[in-house]
Amino acid sequence: MQTQFEIQEQTLQTIGTDLHDNIGQLLSLTSLTLNSIELDNPDKARQKVDAAIELNLKSIKEMRQLGKLLHGEQLLKQGLEEAIRSEINWIEKSGRFAISYNVCGEKCLTSNADKDLILFRIMQEILNNIIKHSGAGEITIKLDYPEGGIRLQVIDNGEGFEIDQLPEEQKGMGLKNIQKRAEIVGGTVFIQSQRGEGTCIDIFIPYP
């Protein structure tokens, strides 16, 4: 039950962020384009209508992709590695981040859907924090399969922070949520950050 509540909470946060940052922007551009149509100039009006139609089609496509991301169980049918890659592709569309993604080691022959989903939601939480707070332009994601476990490392080149100096509300909304989710499946979280030097978050979960 606790796992399900955690997943639902993260899903709602993901919906809000993606609707605002991606689909909301496309719909705003559609509205601006339509409002700028000058009916006394048919040629330019036609061009703007075509542009608005294209933006609307993009919005529909983004909504479908968002639906896939939100239904983590369906997305993870492709495997954790591909689910992470889909999330990265979604973020890269903003044009704000250069993302490097590396997979190392041999994948465990036996999978664990619950742990895969928790780790995927943890990664979404970390990326959400980077987008909102870090000021980073580069993100490195490493997925590794050490013996008896699975390891996720996310590094950014943002502003960094002093963990002990964070306000309690920021700890509660970000770092504590990450640690709580990892603990649900017996995992550990190591956070290394220093102001002006970016942040590295390292998660290890026993697997399968």
**Weakest-pLDDT range from 50-59, 97-106, 134-143, 166-175:** 166-175
Taking a C-beta distance cutoff of 8 angstroms, is the pair 99, 91 a contact?
A: yes
Q: Residue 27 has what pLDDT?
A: 78
Higher pLDDT pick, 203 / 122: 203
CA nearest to 84, candidates 173, 203, 187: 203
DSSP type of residue 207: -
Mean pLDDT over 108-116 rounds to 85
Residues sharing a CB contact under 8 Å with residue 2, sequence separation 6 or more, in sequence order: 184
Over the chain, what is the mean pLDDT?
A: 81
Give the Cα separation of 187 and 46 in Å (integer). 57
Residue 122 has pLDDT above 80, yes or no: yes
Task: Say whether pLDDT at 153 is over 60.
Answer: yes
- More confident site: 30 or 67: 30
Provide the pLDDT for residue 103: 96
pLDDT score at 138: 96
The pLDDT confidence band at residue 178, using thresholds 50, 70 and 90, is: confident
Residues 6+ apart with CB under 8 A from 159: 134, 135, 136, 195, 196, 198
- The pLDDT assigned to 173 comes to 53
**Where is pLDDT greater, at 146 or 22?**
146
Which pLDDT band, with edges at 50, 70 and 90, does 174 fall under?
A: low
Q: Please, which residues have CB within 8 angstroms of residue 151's CB and are 6 or more apart in sequence?
A: 142, 143, 144, 145, 202, 203, 204, 205
Domain 80-206 adopts which CATH fold?
Heat Shock Protein 90 (3.30.565)
* Structure-token pair, residue 131: 């987008």
Q: How far is CA 131 from the centre of its chain?
A: 9
